Amino acid sequence: MNIGFIGLGNMGGPMAANLAAAGHRVTGFDPSGVLPEGVTAADDAKAAVADTDVVILMLPNGAIVAEATAEVLPAMQSGAVLVDCSTIDVETTRRLAARAEAAGIATLDAPVSGGTTGAAKGTLTFMIGGDAAAFETTRPLFDIMGQKAVFCGPAGAGQAAKICNNMILGVTMAATCEAFGLADRLGLDRQSLFDVVSTSSGASWSMNTYCPAPGVGPASPADDGYRPGFAAELMLKDLRLGQEAAQVSGVETPMGRTACDLYTAFVDQAEGRGRDFSALIRRYEDQSA
């Protein structure tokens, strides 16, 4: 396929490179000028999407996605598919999908889970909403970029799934960090806590796969000075999206709200910005000290 790729940062760059390595023709644009191996440079977003079958966006927030969509839609050919892999709010996704449909462009909202490691290894999970026929057309691309693609329903369903998933992730990581802090205060060895919890009813991805305690469990950002695999400010963004969605929907999410408050303090008042979201454990280490 001829693919236009807008946003070639820590996530988009490896994704585009994997598509190019698989034999697809990928033309990319990023304002920073970053260009992954195998991707042809475009002078601007419009040039990147000209004569393409599929356009993929991987951008920081809803406002930038809306701006990029307004720019590229007039340059896309009728029948092409616009795939937004960014994580943004559901209402913006639905509004942009309606605008694209009016222009003869099918859309998919396809946020991802798996972080920069998953993007590089092609092991991402995609949560997809939008046009079912467009999903079947683009499924081979998702198979290259990830290990799993789940079609969740109409426009906005992919974003809804991502927001709910990351609310769970934020809550479980906060609880895991709290547990290690309490274990420290009680004099319980961290490895012993991991050995028990990882094989018991308290097991979770935050504990078993992405343990926030250095030297415990499989290798994770904790073993690399908390260099971000998934930055704390990105977790905060997703938790805030969850709270916005809950407010619009009239749903109470006290655990999600608490996790959002914890990460707000960690990013804005502590030393969380630029660090992995699992570095929240430092808050509880300080309490134990």
Catalytic residue among 121, 148, 162, 237: 162
Handedness of CA 20, 88, 114, 116 (dihedral sign): positive
236 CB-near residues (< 8 Å, 6+ apart): 260, 263, 264, 266, 267
- For residue 79, report the phi and psi dihedrals to the nearest 5 degrees: 95, -10
- For residue 213, report the phi and psi dihedrals to the nearest 5 degrees: -95, 125
Strands (DSSP E) contained in 185-232 are: none
C-alpha to C-alpha distance for 8 and 4, rounded to whole angstroms: 11
Under 8 Å between Cβ of 18 and 39: no
> Annotated catalytic, 46?
no
Place of tokens 């943004």: 88
DSSP at 52:
-
Strands (DSSP E) contained in the chain are: 2-6, 25-29, 40-41, 54-57, 81-84, 106-109, 112-113, 124-130, 146-153
Kindly list the catalytic residues: 162
